[in-house]
């Protein structure tokens, strides 16, 4: 996108694809497909296409479901805006289920009644959902992932791997240039590392932060302590305070032996090890004083969906033991249901890595505030000017 | 690319009108002009309107608060300065690399020249994202270059990855083809006769360059500069992947303000400021084109 030519080409393709989109849109509403929108990476949309949808045939053999890639969160927001605009009219929002979206990202959508209330919708398997993962009644946590520290086991032994925040801080200072985390807005591994620093600065109490208690004043009171902690780490980070531009880039630096330790998503690092991007002996460790935050991906269903009943059936099927077990084996993720609700053999096998609890950090206004303040207070650094 | 022909000195203006085909011509340009108005001119005024008109329900009003916020915010200004600095460095490096290259391509007649020309156009066919990851694997830390140096027993390079030099290297590489093409086109205007006449009169290569060639390609250089400034100023992919977390270039900064901070009005303000700066260079370009046409008539 950096030369005028490619920009022109881009405009051309954009115009062409807009035109192409306009055509099927006319027929889309009537074609009987149930539209599942996702903004996640391709491993997730592949999981839906190759695992969930074929299995769903056993529940509803007639339903035809299509997975649509919205690109990213902004793409999903646009789809939710469309559903919101169609609410109360006869228009078909042309989306039946969001694979990972939270109601707070569309302002006023809960009050307007845009989302199915899972507490009262009478969906099967609802009772299996892990209570610790619940956020609102309007989203359905169906898969989870936690952030871990991954390290090069040829340089750090398992006994020396840090198990608390203080041990980790000491390790980073003792090994300058060997640790990096990514910019908090560019990927959850660095994002949740920053949030762990916020927990550290606030008595390691995740309860202090909820979706509703954001205010500028409260942020001003709770966040600066974390910036002090992170600025204290900066001189000992890679290149004296460099931050990679995404989850993948951090893993790449670890794979190239540039850094020795970095925060990673559990599912992503397991996949990297399977694919050989990272060596077999890559060490993984979770902080024991308070785990690095994780997150759950949450299904939401608009109440004005054209195929509301099928969407609900699909949500119930995703919570079934069958799919939830495959989330562990095929995705390397955590189930959205309690561990009693997955295959007993799996429960046994993964006993060691089952987290007692995955602390989460609320999104909403906190997200924008934390990320932007990090850019202003931590990214510029002190030594680097 | 269609502009290239207009950098040549000879132009047969006004033939269409003389032949009575003015109306057909107007009809032909009406579609692109309408598109320009709809997709570019209208959004510009829309953006300016949205940033200076108050919409807080107290009726129409005039407010420059986002501009005041931008220009009084050290963080935003640092980003703007970095963008200007990167653009200036890139433009200087591009001229330094591409001028000798295009002089060679203009005057060399060998088969090697054809190969060099092919190579110099190669970056045009490599998407920015691919380039960014390729650069990480080569000049990034423990990348290809480091491996070679290490095998030779030499110290590793100080990697430009995640510093402002990362995007600079990428942007220069990415812009070499267009710059070279435009300079070669400009050099096409320099006649072999003039150069040979100067050589016969005993002029050394440097004197030929300074007194014969450079005065004739001044316009092309101006066009090249405005083009590179325009594309580098608004660069996104390379600064995003290769650059430091802070200061950010305007491209990633705007995207983050829009998509992450969700402050659309501020994002539009940043866009208007970026556009205003680019418009200055756009004006250079338009002026040189206009001057060319006048000369041609």
SS3 content of chain B, % helix, strand, coil (to 5): 75, 0, 20
Helix (H/G/I), strand (E/B), else coil: B123: helix
Integer angstrom CA distances of residue A320 from A67, A174, A342, A349, B173: 19, 47, 8, 19, 52
- The Cα–Cα gap between A300 and A37 comes to 10
Q: Which one of B120, B243, B246, B264 makes the best mutation probe of the A interface by having the most chain A beta carbons within 10 Å? A: B246
Asked if omega into B247 is within 30° of 0 (cis), the reply is: yes
**Does residue A1 have a pLDDT over 70?**
no
- Which has the closest alpha carbon to A236: A256, A204, A261, A257? A261
Averaged pLDDT score across all residues of chain B? 86
**Does residue A27 have a pLDDT over 70?**
no
Topology (CATH) of A32-138+297-349: D-Maltodextrin-Binding Protein; domain 2 (3.40.190)
Q: Which residue has the tokens 């600025």?
A: A231
B144 touches chain A (CB under 8 A): no
Summarize the confidence of residues A329-358 as an average pLDDT. Answer: 79
Domains and CATH numbers, chain B: 2-14+75-296 (1.10.3720.10)
B233 touches chain A (CB under 8 A): no
User: Does domain A144-293+362-377 bear CATH number 3.40.190.10?
Assistant: yes
B141 touches chain A (CB under 8 A): yes
Q: Which of A103-117, A242-256, B280-294 has the lowest mean pLDDT?
A: B280-294
**% of chain A residues with pLDDT over 70:** 89
SS3 content of chain A, % helix, strand, coil (to 5): 45, 15, 40
Predicted local distance difference test score (pLDDT) of residue A29: 46
**Does residue B4 have a pLDDT over 50?**
no
Facing A258 at nearest CB: one of B78, B141, B259 = B141
Predicted local distance difference test score (pLDDT) of residue B100: 93
Distance (Å) from the alpha carbon of A246 to chain B's nearest alpha carbon: 9
The residues that bridge with A146 in the sheet, in sequence order, are: A294
Contact B127 A6 (CB under 8 A): yes
Q: For residue B198, what are its two tokens?
A: 């100067």
Is ipTM over 0.95?
A: no
A74 touches chain B (CB under 8 A): yes
Contact B174 A253 (CB under 8 A): no
Read off φ and ψ for residue B61, nearest 5 degrees.
-150, 170
Cβ contacts of A243 on chain B, cutoff 8 Å? 162, 244-245
**Does residue A367 have a pLDDT over 90?**
no
Each domain of chain A, given as residue ranges in start order, spans 32-138+297-349, 144-293+362-377
Burial group, residue A174, by CB count within 10 angstroms (0-12, 13-18, 19+)? exposed
Cβ contacts of B262 on chain A, cutoff 8 Å? 368
Predicted local distance difference test score (pLDDT) of residue A44: 86
**Does residue A72 have a pLDDT over 60?**
yes
Read off φ and ψ for residue A352, nearest 5 degrees.
-70, -35
Contact A4 B259 (CB under 8 A): no
Cβ contacts of B234 on chain A, cutoff 8 Å? 2
User: Across A32-36, A165-169, B55-59, B152-156, which has the greatest mean pLDDT?
Assistant: A165-169
Q: Give the model confidence (pLDDT) of B81-103 as tens digits.
A: 999 999 999 999 999 999 999 99
**Does residue A236 have a pLDDT over 50?**
yes
Q: How confident is the model at residue B17 (pLDDT cuts 50, 70, 90)?
A: low
Q: How confident is the model at residue B122 (pLDDT cuts 50, 70, 90)?
A: very high
Predicted local distance difference test score (pLDDT) of residue B260: 78
pLDDT: is A328 or A25 the higher one?
A: A328
Facing A371 at nearest CB: one of B238, B247, B260 = B260
- Which has the closest alpha carbon to A346: A362, A367, A330? A330
Summarize the confidence of residues B125-149 as an average pLDDT. Answer: 91
Read off φ and ψ for residue A294, nearest 5 degrees.
-120, -170
Q: How confident is the model at residue B292 (pLDDT cuts 50, 70, 90)?
A: confident
Q: Give the model confidence (pLDDT) of B19-40 as tens digits.
A: 556 788 889 899 999 999 999 8
Q: How confident is the model at residue A5 (pLDDT cuts 50, 70, 90)?
A: very low
Q: Is A239 left (phi over 0), alpha (psi -120 to 50) or beta?
A: left
pLDDT: is A373 or B9 the higher one?
A: A373
Predicted local distance difference test score (pLDDT) of residue A361: 87
Integer angstrom CA distances of residue A55 from A299, A313, A338, B49, B277: 18, 12, 21, 52, 56
**Does residue B250 have a pLDDT over 90?**
yes
Give the chain B residue whose CA is nearest to the CA of A2. Answer: B235
Q: How confident is the model at residue A41 (pLDDT cuts 50, 70, 90)?
A: confident
Cβ contacts of A376 on chain B, cutoff 8 Å? 75
Q: How confident is the model at residue A25 (pLDDT cuts 50, 70, 90)?
A: very low
**Does residue A223 have a pLDDT over 90?**
yes
A32-138+297-349 matches A144-293+362-377 in fold? yes
B150 touches chain A (CB under 8 A): no
Predicted local distance difference test score (pLDDT) of residue B180: 94
């Amino acid at each position: 996108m950096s030369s005028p030519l490619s920009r022109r080409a881009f405009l051309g393709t954009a115009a062409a694809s807009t035109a192409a989109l306009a055509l099927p849109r006319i027929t889309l509403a009537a074609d009987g497909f149930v539209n599942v929108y996702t903004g996640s990476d391709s491993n997730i949309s592949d999981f839906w296409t190759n695992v969930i949808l074929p299995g769903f045939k056993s529940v509803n053999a007639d339903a035809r479901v299509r997975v649509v890639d919205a690109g990213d969160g902004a793409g999903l927001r646009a789809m939710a805006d469309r559903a919101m605009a169609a609410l109360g009219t006869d228009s078909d929002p042309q989306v039946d289920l969001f694979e990972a979206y939270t109601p707070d990202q569309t302002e006023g959508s809960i009050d307007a009644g845009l989302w199915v209330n899972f507490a009262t919708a009478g969906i099967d398997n609802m009772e299996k959902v892990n209570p610790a993962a619940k956020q609102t009644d309007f989203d359905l946590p169906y898969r989870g992932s936690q952030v871990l520290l991954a390290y090069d086991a040829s340089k750090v032994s398992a006994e020396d791997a840090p198990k608390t925040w203080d041990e980790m801080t000491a390790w980073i200072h003792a090994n300058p240039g060997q640790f990096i985390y990514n910019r908090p807005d560019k990927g959850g591994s660095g994002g949740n590392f920053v949030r762990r620093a916020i927990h550290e600065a606030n008595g390691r109490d995740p309860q202090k932060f909820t979706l509703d208690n954001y205010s500028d004043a409260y942020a001003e009171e709770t966040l600066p302590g974390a910036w002090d902690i992170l600025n204290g780490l900066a001189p000992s980070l890679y290149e004296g305070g460099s931050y990679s531009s995404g989850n993948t880039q951090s893993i790449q630096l670890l794979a190239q032996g540039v850094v020795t330790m970095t925060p990673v998503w559990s599912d992503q690092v397991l996949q990297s090890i399977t694919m050989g991007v990272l060596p077999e002996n890559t060490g993984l460790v979770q902080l024991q004083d308070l785990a690095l935050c994780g997150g759950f991906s949450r299904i939401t269903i608009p109440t004005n969906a054209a195929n509301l009943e099928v969407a609900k059936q699909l949500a119930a099927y995703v919570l079934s033991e069958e799919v939830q077990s495959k989330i562990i084996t095929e995705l390397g993720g955590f189930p959205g249901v309690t561990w009693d609700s997955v295959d007993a053999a799996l429960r046994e096998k993964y006993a060691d890595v089952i987290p007692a609890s995955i602390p989460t950090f609320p999104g909403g206004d906190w997200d924008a505030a934390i990320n932007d303040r990090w850019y202003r207070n931590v990214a510029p650094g002190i030594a680097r000017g | 690319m269609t502009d290239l022909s207009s950098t040549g000195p000879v132009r047969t203006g006004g033939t269409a009108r003389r032949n009575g085909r003015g109306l057909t011509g107007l009809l032909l340009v009406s579609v692109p002009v309408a598109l320009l108005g709809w997709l570019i001119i209208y959004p510009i005024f829309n953006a300016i309107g949205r940033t200076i008109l108050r919409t807080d329900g107290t009726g129409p009003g005039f407010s420059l608060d986002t501009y005041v916020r931008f220009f009084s915010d050290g963080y935003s200004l640092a980003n703007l300065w970095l963008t200007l600095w990167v653009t200036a460095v890139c433009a200087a490096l591009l001229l330094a690399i591409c001028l000798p290259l295009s002089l060679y391509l203009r005057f060399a007649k060998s088969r090697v020249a054809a190969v060099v020309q092919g190579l110099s156009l190669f970056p045009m066919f490599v998407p920015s994202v691919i380039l960014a990851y390729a650069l990480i694997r080569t000049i990034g830390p423990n990348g290809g270059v480091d491996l070679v140096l290490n095998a030779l027993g030499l110290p590793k390079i100080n990697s430009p990855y995640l510093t402002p030099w990362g995007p600079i290297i990428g942007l220069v590489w990415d812009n070499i083809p267009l710059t070279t093409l435009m300079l070669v086109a400009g050099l096409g205007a320099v006649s072999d006769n003039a150069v040979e006449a100067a050589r016969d009169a005993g002029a050394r290569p440097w004197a030929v360059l300074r007194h014969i060639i450079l005065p004739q390609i001044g316009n092309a250089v101006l066009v090249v500069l405005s083009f590179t400034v325009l594309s580098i100023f608004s660069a996104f992919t390379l600064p995003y992947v290769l650059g430091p977390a802070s200061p950010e270039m305007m491209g990633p900064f705007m995207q983050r303000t829009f998509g992450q901070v969700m402050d659309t009005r501020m994002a539009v303000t940043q866009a208007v400021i970026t556009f205003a700066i680019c418009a200055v260079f756009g004006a250079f370009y338009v002026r040189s084109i206009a001057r060319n046409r006048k000369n041609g008539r």
